[in-house]
Structure 1
C-alpha cells in the first residue's frame, strides 16, 4: 500500500511520519502530484496559519489537485480546517471541499484560546472511530474551529460544541492531533488505513 503524506510546509509532519512508523507503516512525504494521485491513502497534516498554508498549496498547484482525489484522505488539525470554504484566520479562502467556514473560538470566561490539551470525543458517527468510546481523550491545539453540521462525524466541546472530525465522500478529517493522541490516535490511524 502506498501512503502519501502531503508536504506543503504546513507544520511538523515528522510527528505524523513517526506515528505511522510506530504502526509499521512506511509513508512518502511528497508534494509531487503524480505521487499523490498514485497513492492508495493520503494524509494531510498541518499546523500553523490558514492563509500561509493556502498560499503554499496554491504555489504548488495542490489547491487544484486535492479536491479531485478519490482515494481515502485524512486531514489532521490545520489539514481539516483547510478543507472548508473560508477561514476567519486572516480572511483566507480555503479548498472548498466541505461546506463549513472556520471561525475563532469566542471569548468565554474560564476558557483560554487556543484550546490546547486533552479533550474527549462525543457523538462518534464513523468507522474511523471503530473500537473507541466517547470518553476517550485526544489532543487538541487550535484557536479556530469548524461548527457542527451535517458533515460532522465527531464532536468535542470547549465550551461550545464544535466539529472534532468531519467527512465528505472520501475526505475524512480530524481537528485533533492523531499523532499526539497516544493509543487512541493510533487506533484512528489504523482504522483509516484499513478503509
Structure 2
C-alpha cells in the first residue's frame, strides 16, 4: 500500500466522487472500500456523509462496519470524518429522535440555534462560506491538519446540526454564525472530524486534504 494511499469509506452515502477527485488533486491515491476487513487494514481512512445522521448510522450497520471502524480508530492510524461523517464520531445525535453514534469523541450532535445573538430568528441550515477560528496548540492529528496557513481560511458549509463535544479541548475549530459559535472541527488524538466540505472549499480545503495525505510522511 502506497504511503499516499487514502481509503474512503463507501457505504452508499456521501459525495465520493468529489472527495476522490480532491485527494487525487493533492497527490494522493484514493481507494473506495466497503468491507470490514478493508477498514481495519486501511492506512488513512476518510468517512464521508451527507443527509440525516440516523440514515448514515443505519447504513454503517447494514455494511457491518461499526466494529471495524472502532478497531481502526483504536489502532492510532489517521481517521477523518467529513460533514455527517464528523457527526458520526460523537456519542449521539438528536436529529429526528435520539440516535447513537460511534462514541469516538464524547459529546452530542444538536441543531444549530435558530435564534441569533440579538434574539432574531436566523436561517437554518447554515449554508455558505465561513471563516475558521482555530484554537492554538492543537495536538494530535488535528494539529497536523490545521497548520498555520489555515488560520483565517474560509470553508464551505451545508448543515443544520453540529457537534457539541463534552470536553472543550476536543473542539478544535469554530465558526461564527450570526454571533452564535458553531463547531467546525472536533478531534482527539488520531481522530478528527470536520463539519465543512474540504473537497468543495477551494485551495484551503485542498491544503487540509494534502496535510491528511502527507500526515504519515512527517
TM-score where L is the length of structure 2: 0.84
User: How far apart in 1 are the matches of 2:78 and 2:151?
Assistant: 24
Aligned to 1:120: 131
What are the residue-to-residue correspondences of 1:46-125 with 2, within 5 Å? Answer: 46-69=49-72, 70=75, 71-90=77-96, 91-108=98-115, 109=120, 111-124=122-135, 125=138
Report if the CA contact (8 A) 1:13-1:46 is conserved: no
Report if the CA contact (8 A) 1:5-1:45 is conserved: yes
Partner SS, residue 14 of structure 2: coil
What are the residue-to-residue correspondences of 1:1-195 with 2, within 5 Å? Answer: 1=3, 2-69=5-72, 70=75, 71-90=77-96, 91-108=98-115, 109=120, 111-124=122-135, 125=138, 126-147=143-164, 149-158=168-177, 159-195=179-215
User: How far apart in 2 are the matches of 1:135 and 1:28?
Assistant: 31
TM-score where L is the length of structure 1: 0.94
User: How far apart in 2 are the matches of 1:47 and 1:132?
Assistant: 27
Report if the CA contact (8 A) 1:147-1:163 is conserved: yes
User: How far apart in 2 are the matches of 1:67 and 1:156?
Assistant: 29
Tell me the number of residue pairs that the alignment of Structure 1 and Structure 2 aligns: 195
User: How far apart in 2 are the matches of 1:30 and 1:127?
Assistant: 25
**Ranges in structure 1 where 5+ consecutive residues have no aligned partner:** none
Give how far 1:42 is off. Answer: 0.5
* Higher-Rg member (1/2): 2
Partner SS, residue 106 of structure 2: coil
User: How far apart in 2 are the matches of 1:133 and 1:15?
Assistant: 21
Report if the CA contact (8 A) 1:147-1:161 is conserved: no
